[in-house]
């Protein structure tokens, strides 16, 4: 998925069996623009576009989208839930330990589920959710600047 991909939010909603509403369209388009957004970020973005929406309406839409399989909620430790439209491909996330920036990482070995534990205690393995932690390029650049600034 490229960042400039244009989504047909109404078609996605209809395909998932959801009624097309202004708030749902706005939320889907916001998620397409800003993957891995928290609910508060999404509320703010939708409110800029629709004067007649409410925080609760956006929260309801996020729950509806997640229940319908249109959106996925990820919860890196220590962060509020983040939402994205990229679902069902067993991709993973890398999170910056300093600023919390999140990026996608494709399935580690190219097929899902990519982790094959040596024993599964009788569970059927459906999905692997892996969070990698690191330092993003912005934060790395900041650190480099700081090092230069201190003689
Ligand atoms: Zn960072
Ligand atoms: Zn993702």
Ordered strands of the 72-74 beta sheet: 37-38, 82-84, 72-74
- CA 16, CA 77: separation in Å to the nearest integer? 30
Q: Which residue segment(s) compose the domain that 126 sits in?
A: 89-149
Domain count, the chain: 2
pLDDT on residue 87: 87
Q: Closest-lying ligand to the alpha carbon of 88?
A: 2
Domain-located, residue 28: yes
**Distance (Å) from CA 114 to ligand 1 centroid:** 26
pTM for this predicted structure: 0.78
Kind and range of the H or E run holding 38:
strand 37-38
The pLDDT-based confidence of 115 (bands split at 50, 70, 90) is low
pLDDT on residue 113: 59
**Distance (Å) from CA 146 to ligand 1 centroid:** 14
- CA 3, CA 1: separation in Å to the nearest integer? 7
pLDDT on residue 114: 63
CATH of the domain at 46: 1.10.10.10
**Distance (Å) from CA 47 to ligand 2 centroid:** 24
**Distance (Å) from CA 135 to ligand 1 centroid:** 5
**Domain termination site, one of 31, 47, 74:** 74
pLDDT on residue 56: 96
């Amino acid at each position: 998925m490229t960042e400039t991909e244009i989504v047909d939010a109404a078609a996605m909603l209809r395909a998932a069996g959801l009624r097309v509403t202004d708030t749902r369209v706005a939320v889907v388009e916001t998620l397409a623009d800003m993957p891995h957004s928290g609910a508060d970020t999404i509320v703010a973005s939708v409110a800029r576009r629709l004067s007649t929406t409410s925080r609760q309406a956006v929260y309801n839409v996020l729950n509806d989208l997640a229940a319908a399989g249109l959106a996925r909620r990820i919860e890196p430790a220590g962060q509020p839930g983040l939402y994205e439209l990229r679902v069902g491909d067993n991709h993973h996330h890398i999170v910056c330990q300093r600023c919390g920036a999140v990026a996608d990482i494709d399935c580690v070995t190219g097929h899902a589920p990519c982790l094959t534990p040596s024993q599964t205690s009788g569970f059927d393995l459906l999905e692997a959710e892996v969070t990698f932690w690191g330092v993003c390029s912005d934060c790395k650049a900041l650190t480099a600047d700081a090092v230069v600034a201190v003689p």
